[in-house]
Amino acid sequence: MENNVICVKWGTKFGPEYVNSLYNMVEKNLTIPHRFVCFTDNAEGINPNVEIRPLPELHDEGLPEKAWKKLGLFTSPLADLQGRALFLDLDIVIRDNIDDFFKVDGKFVIIKDWDFEKDIIGNSSVFRFEVNQHPEVIENFYKEGKDIRKRYKNEQAFLSYQMHNKGILSYWDKKWCVSFKRNCLRKFPMNFFKAPIDPVDSKIIVFHGRPNPEQAYNGFCGKGGLRYVKPTKWLDNYWERNK
């Protein structure tokens, strides 16, 4: 079965350096034969070794969170892809080998969201699915229309319930994907004195919200000073930035 690693870049939030960094980290940490494909509306500056495909069309007008565009990946056919696809957000950091993300069983596997322990919702920073096998995701998205936000907070909640209703929702080993904010950042007041913790048993560090990897690396102060992050220089060991 063909293995694909895919990412999505649109607008101006992330520059091509994020795609290139992700590509470098994947090539460093994935030994299984694979394609690396970026779906984007602007390929300028992206490493020529990255396969470029146009963004799948998704009419998400009126929805404030642009992450809904991820659902376009469930378009069928999805460009020229076949087999399995591992989706990775652009602002993650891969710290160890990720072969297991293609070896684990499951038709749809996602991070169990740290903020919804008692719910089924996953975090869509890292998920794997079978390409061209879930066209109903797009169909149901359009059926919901503008009322979709009344039932689902965001795209990952909608996606989780779609896969749950099909009976195929499953989660990664909780040690594989960790949250920088939840698992690395030290509790107050120690965050003012010590750098964040390097999660030695993890494979991927997820940066959801702030700080992003660059902010964490340089040091960050948010929420009126309460979310203070000392410079996280150990990211140099894993984050293939500016390369």
Q: Percentages helix, strand, coil for the chain, rounded to the nearest 5?
A: 30, 20, 45
**Pick from 62, 182, 37, 208: nearest CA to 126:** 208
- The number of CA neighbours under 13 Å toward the Cβ of 29 is 23
Class for the domain spanning 3-171: alpha beta
- The pLDDT tens digits of the residues spanning 93-115 come to 999 999 999 999 999 999 999 98
Q: Where are the domains of the chain?
A: 3-171, 177-237
Summary mean pLDDT of the chain? 93
Going through 139-237 in order, the beta strands assigned E by DSSP cover 169-171, 177-179, 204-206, 220-222, 227-229
pTM over 0.85: yes
pLDDT band for 65, please (50, 70, 90 cuts): low
- The amino acid present at 191, given as its one-letter code, is N
- The pLDDT tens digits of the residues spanning 6-61 come to 999 999 899 999 999 999 999 999 999 999 999 999 999 999 999 999 999 888 66
**Pick from 81, 78, 31: nearest CA to 55:** 78
- The pLDDT tens digits of the residues spanning 24-37 come to 999 999 999 999 99
- The pLDDT tens digits of the residues spanning 156-200 come to 999 999 999 999 999 999 999 999 999 999 998 899 999 999 999
> Which DSSP letter does residue 93 get?
E
Cis peptide, bond prior to residue 77, ω within 30 of zero: yes
